[in-house]
Structure 1
Amino acid sequence: MSREFKDTVTSLIRDIIKEEGLSKQDLYIDIEFPKEKQFGDWSINVAMKLAKECRKRPLDIAELLAARLREKLMASGYDKKIEKIEVKSPGYINIFFSNEALDDILKLIQEKKNDFGRSNIGNAQKILIEFVSANPTGPLSIAHARQAAVGDTLANIMSFCGYEVTREYYINDEGNQIKNLGLSLQARYLQALGRKDAELPADGYKGEYLVSMAEDIVKSKKDAYAHSDDKTLQFFSEYAATEILREINNELSDFGVSFDTWFSQKQLAQSGEINKVFAVLKDGGYLYEEDGATWFKSTVFGDDKDRVLIKSDGQFTYLTPDIAYHRLKFARGFEKLINILGPDHHGYINRLKAAVCALGRKKDDLSVLIIQLATLFRDGKPVVMSTRAGEYITLRELMQEVGRDASRFFFLMRRCDSHLEFDLELAKKQSLENPVYYIQYAYARISGIAEVIRSGENKKIFEDTALDLALLREEETLDLIRKLNLFPEVLITCSLSLEPHGLTTYLRELAGCFHAFYNKYRVYSEENLPLSKARFVLVDCVRQVLYTGLRLVGVGSPERM
């Protein structure tokens, strides 16, 4: 059912509430999609919201609203889209679509094709999604991979729903971690030159990637950097960060993720933006001095304690450049910021939102998604990893083992705030047990049918056969059409909730409905061409929605499997 009709129904209910004097408020009319068919295609609970204000039973209010809604739909010419409107205790208004309305869903998909599900709910709002932003100190981990899958898919969905989305990677290319990276590469370089006394710093980086990097430097530069001074350390730090960032970019590109902008912390520090943000906070009265440090009054905006911006030794805390960075994001014209961070940043949310408020913005102008960790399982046992020891499976290694499609999809099968168990053996299976294979197999099955129907003499026979969608009345068929109808709403819900996992869940359910239909009914039969054509239109609509959904997730749609 089109978004326009849904908006019409909610508008009519608002009019009825106003005409009947049921509320002085502008209530939000929430239309839900019942999981059980006995409760209809849409369910509305506004009567229960009105009960207290009206001092009436929700059931009585629902009866009144339902009766008036029937009248208004008939007067508006929409009554043919509705089979019936029922009221159920304690006060639900359940709307059942007519067969004609279900036929219209298929016609709409045929008309819109790749644009079915696209909406303007975002109204061209400028959104900046910052995600991954891993320190350029080593290959991307599984945690970064999940953040990449979530961020990129969310950006795809929000763009499809009418938001103007920019993807950004924040490069942490200065500070102690970059210095330690340089010292670590320097030690590996000296070891490659045969210096047995060269040791990694205690908090250095132990990954093998620095060994091969050091060997490359020896091949090209010989012993040119065998001495130690500030310039030498700067060379190793910049060399390592640049090479690692290049590999990160390549990894993400192979994962199907690309960024519109790469923003450097070093450039931020050199730009004078930090001084500007101090001026803004000082003018607002949000700074004070105590114990030789400069503090930010973050408690004014709901933080549990005030935060240090400049330590007593004159060094900035991590929060300081972050505030400047977020101020600059807004200055660049973005209306809404979305940060996608790992679980170790949970305590960072309140202080960052406080900073946004101190800069004159609303708290809701910044959304922070905390992506929980993923555990890899092999043969039923968790894969033990240690980032500190340099022993972990990288994103590239994961893609090499299970493929890009499975990697992306599996990372999206749970809510962002839920820990994810990634079954490597399941992800590699070429069977219907594998959810990615299950969905892609549905697409391939339909593509195979399309190839038969659209080739040779069959093409002309089908073109000459009249289309009669009224032939599609089996229970499994109607279930499939109803599931197709949910696609636009699923995307809108994902956009508003900032939770892309709803799309992967939907695609699995849609594939399940298709397989149930396909296993029971034959799509193409020469004995009944009108029914065959109607069924082909149905499954071709399924193919279209699967294609669009998989594309938004960043997963391929193979026509043969």
Structure 2
Amino acid sequence: MRSALDVKRALGDAVVASLQALSREQGLGPLPAEWEDRARAIEVPKDPAFGDFASGAAMATAGHFHMPPRRIAEALAERLRSLAGAGGGAAPLPPSLQLTSVEVAGPGFVNMRLDGRWLLEVASSLLRDGPRSGVPDIGQGRRVQIEFVSANPTGPMNVVNARAAAVGDAMARLLEAVGFRVTREYYVNDAGRQARLFAESVAARMAEILGEPHLFPEDGYPGEYVREIAEELLREEPTLARVAPAERLERLRDAAVDRMLGRQRGDLEAFGVHFDVWFRERALHEQGRVQQVLQELERRGFLYEAEGARWLRSTAFGDDKDRVVVKSDGALTYLASDIAYHDDKFRRGFDLVIDIWGPDHHGYVARMKAAMQALGYAPERLEIVILQLVSLVRGGEAVRMSKRAGEFVTLAELLDEVGADAARYFFLQRSPESPVEVDLDLATLQSMDNPVYYVQYAHARICSVFRQAEAEGVEPLGEVTAQQLAPLQSPHEQAVLKALAAYAEEVRDAALRREPQRIVQYVYQLASAFHSFYHEYRLLDPDPSTRRARLALAEATRRVLADALGLLGISAPDRM
């Protein structure tokens, strides 16, 4: 056994085989495949008093057997009891899975208890094969593109961008952990009105610095960072001071955006977020891709003219109204470029495309999905995650103003105050669809009250124990068998073993459900189980066999903690 997933799979097979036999006995023939799938599910009861694992198969198959679920459960339990001990019956279990009790509860639940050998096998497997030995290869090399952050290149990264960066990067790491080939992509909006306004804002500040007449653009960017960029460009390109304003603006159209983009990239790198592709919107227009996509939509019958504009017939795919892609004055809408961009994604061969958007894009989801279907792409190949907002609190009061930029708290400021690890942990502790509040006082606290400190300290504490063991001349662990872990029988030791066994399933579910918060919750629970174990028992026990087993449990915990924190992009320090 490599994980609780393997145990669930084996128990599910035993349940299905038992129900198949019961179905034939009842003269109903084989249990149909759709009933098998329902019957195979095995859960872990929230209350340990109800056993180690539970099956609701009796209720799931009542429609097939035409019997009360309780009667089906009693018959199923009787068959499963035959597997206890010698492991006989319709579907013998692996030797390490021995049922010690099978009980029927409630309307038809079957609760099962196992002896602890399977937990020892899991811990031994973790030490031998690594913490992901039980994680299933679901992706099987399929290509996934995940696009996130994609902020306008007109200002510094703010805390909302920072949460998008943390969530997108964690999702990418999780997808890679279950076998997908992931490309992280940043879409640079450098062809629209905002990029033009930014260049005009930098040009106005540059003229101001040079003492020239200037008019700051309406709706321009007034932040201090705009003046800084103007000063930097003047220092590095002195000729900008000697050219006419019109020529200067033309040269700044690319230079200003590129400079801001460099700053954004630097902030993200400091946050530990790296992108494989920085895709420029301007390239779509220069290559004629937008017009080509519009022509394809027209050819397919999903583009029409009305009121002097051109419309996407998005209502054909569930949108609440059709959408303009070319305005009456001939200007393209943002939607037109976005359709071309997403078409380009699929043309690059990605099997799945995931977008992480802010809450202001919620109404944009249906039209983008409609556009992709109009182009012939299966709707399940485009997935859109709506990420909710971030609020910061200090001293019980909401933080509203940046210390420096005057408009918002930047990612750089946040990293200066709390660091990348704490920022990631707090950003990831809630579902992406839920708003998150970051308590800056708590995030900077160097004590066990700070959850990220609490988790990281578990890893550092284990490292400290092994340094002490080495100093005392304790023999290195080497290979550890399940039999050598047999002394781990106390409730605290069993709690750690069960937490370790759950890791593979948590990784799988976090990846498939796009829920990185599951790993945040998991590492806290594992750290909590370990801290409790550490306070109850001496890891460096005088008895050699007990000491070896406990050190092995600690090392398995350390490896899983380090791996899980790595999936979140958080470090696992050796000392704190």
- TM (norm. structure 2) is 0.91
Q: How far has the Cα of 1:231 moved from its partner?
A: 3.9
Aligned-partner Cα distance in 2 for 1:403–1:42: 41
Q: How far has the Cα of 1:92 moved from its partner?
A: 1.9
CA contact (8 A) 2:454 2:527 kept: yes
Deviations 1:44-81 (A, max 9, x none): 32322222444322222223333344556635342641
Q: How far has the Cα of 1:153 moved from its partner?
A: 0.7
* Structure 2 SS opposite 1:457: coil
Structure 2 counterpart of 1:447: 463
Is the deviation greater in 422-431 or in 280-289?
280-289
Structure 2 counterpart of 1:108: 125
Aligned-partner Cα distance in 1 for 2:480–2:530: 26
In structure 2, do the counterparts of structure 1 residues 316 and 201 end up closer, same or farther at CA, with 3 Å as the change threshold?
Answer: same
Aligned-partner Cα distance in 1 for 2:82–2:483: 33
Structure 2 counterpart of 1:87: 104
Confirm whether residue 276 of structure 1 aligns to residue 285 of structure 2: no
Confirm whether residue 238 of structure 1 aligns to residue 228 of structure 2: no
Structure 1 counterpart of 2:416: 400
Which one of the candidate residues 51, 55, 59 is aligned to 1:44? 55
Confirm whether residue 33 of structure 1 aligns to residue 48 of structure 2: no
Q: How does 1:322-333 map to 2 (within 5 A)?
A: 322-333=338-349
Provide the alpha-carbon RMSD of the alignment: 2.4
Is the deviation greater in 147-156 or in 528-537?
528-537
Structure 2 counterpart of 1:122: 139
Q: How far has the Cα of 1:8 moved from its partner?
A: 3.3
Q: How does 1:119-518 map to 2 (within 5 A)?
A: 119-195=136-212, 197-222=213-238, 224-225=240-241, 230-385=246-401, 390-455=406-471, 457-459=473-475, 468-518=484-534
One-letter amino acid of the structure 2 residue matched with residue 250 of structure 1: G
Q: How far has the Cα of 1:235 moved from its partner?
A: 1.7
One-letter amino acid of the structure 2 residue matched with residue 539 of structure 1: A
CA contact (8 A) 2:326 2:333 kept: yes
Deviations 1:376-418 (A, max 9, x none): 101111101489x852111111111111111111100111111
Aligned-partner Cα distance in 2 for 1:225–1:540: 63
One-letter amino acid of the structure 1 residue matched with residue 259 of structure 2: E
In structure 2, do the counterparts of structure 1 residues 46 and 364 end up closer, same or farther at CA, with 3 Å as the change threshold?
Answer: farther
Is the deviation greater in 222-231 or in 485-494?
222-231
In structure 2, do the counterparts of structure 1 residues 479 and 461 end up closer, same or farther at CA, with 3 Å as the change threshold?
Answer: closer
Aligned-partner Cα distance in 2 for 1:247–1:69: 63
Is the deviation greater in 134-143 or in 64-73?
64-73
In structure 2, do the counterparts of structure 1 residues 484 and 308 end up closer, same or farther at CA, with 3 Å as the change threshold?
Answer: same
Structure 2 counterpart of 1:531: 546
Which one of the candidate residues 58, 62, 65 is aligned to 2:76? 65
CA contact (8 A) 1:116 1:545 kept: no
One-letter amino acid of the structure 2 residue matched with residue 478 of structure 1: Q
CA contact (8 A) 2:148 2:356 kept: yes
Is the deviation greater in 378-387 or in 424-433?
378-387
One-letter amino acid of the structure 2 residue matched with residue 34 of structure 1: P
Structure 2 counterpart of 1:542: 557
CA contact (8 A) 1:467 1:533 kept: no
**Where in structure 1 are there 5+ consecutive unaligned residues?**
none
In structure 2, do the counterparts of structure 1 residues 355 and 126 end up closer, same or farther at CA, with 3 Å as the change threshold?
Answer: same
In structure 2, do the counterparts of structure 1 residues 78 and 85 end up closer, same or farther at CA, with 3 Å as the change threshold?
Answer: farther
Q: How far has the Cα of 1:454 moved from its partner?
A: 3.2
Alignment: residue pair count: 558
In structure 2, do the counterparts of structure 1 residues 386 and 523 end up closer, same or farther at CA, with 3 Å as the change threshold?
Answer: closer
Aligned-partner Cα distance in 2 for 1:419–1:465: 45
* Structure 1 SS opposite 2:383: strand
Q: How far has the Cα of 1:13 moved from its partner?
A: 3.5
Confirm whether residue 7 of structure 1 aligns to residue 16 of structure 2: no
Aligned-partner Cα distance in 1 for 2:445–2:358: 29
In structure 2, do the counterparts of structure 1 residues 462 and 548 end up closer, same or farther at CA, with 3 Å as the change threshold?
Answer: closer
CA contact (8 A) 1:166 1:260 kept: yes
Aligned-partner Cα distance in 2 for 1:372–1:366: 20
Aligned-partner Cα distance in 2 for 1:516–1:347: 47
In structure 2, do the counterparts of structure 1 residues 558 and 221 end up closer, same or farther at CA, with 3 Å as the change threshold?
Answer: closer
Aligned-partner Cα distance in 1 for 2:426–2:8: 33
CA contact (8 A) 1:484 1:542 kept: yes
Deviations 1:264-287 (A, max 9, x none): 100011122223322332232111
Aligned-partner Cα distance in 1 for 2:510–2:192: 37
One-letter amino acid of the structure 2 residue matched with residue 138 of structure 1: G
Deviations 1:61-111 (A, max 9, x none): 223333344556635342641333332212222232321111111111111
Aligned-partner Cα distance in 1 for 2:414–2:140: 38
Is the deviation greater in 93-102 or in 511-520?
93-102
The sequence identity of aligned pairs, in percent, is: 39
- TM (norm. structure 1) is 0.94
Aligned-partner Cα distance in 2 for 1:256–1:464: 35
* Structure 1 SS opposite 2:473: helix
One-letter amino acid of the structure 2 residue matched with residue 25 of structure 1: E
One-letter amino acid of the structure 1 residue matched with residue 556 of structure 2: C
* Structure 2 SS opposite 1:471: coil
* Structure 1 SS opposite 2:393: strand
In structure 2, do the counterparts of structure 1 residues 460 and 508 end up closer, same or farther at CA, with 3 Å as the change threshold?
Answer: closer
Q: How far has the Cα of 1:433 moved from its partner?
A: 0.5
* Structure 2 SS opposite 1:513: helix
Aligned-partner Cα distance in 1 for 2:241–2:329: 32
CA contact (8 A) 1:206 1:390 kept: no
Aligned-partner Cα distance in 2 for 1:405–1:339: 24
Aligned-partner Cα distance in 2 for 1:150–1:464: 36
In structure 2, do the counterparts of structure 1 residues 311 and 11 end up closer, same or farther at CA, with 3 Å as the change threshold?
Answer: farther
In structure 2, do the counterparts of structure 1 residues 274 and 16 end up closer, same or farther at CA, with 3 Å as the change threshold?
Answer: farther
Q: How far has the Cα of 1:237 moved from its partner?
A: 2.3
One-letter amino acid of the structure 2 residue matched with residue 6 of structure 1: K
CA contact (8 A) 1:178 1:241 kept: yes
One-letter amino acid of the structure 2 residue matched with residue 64 of structure 1: A
Is the deviation greater in 92-101 or in 305-314?
92-101
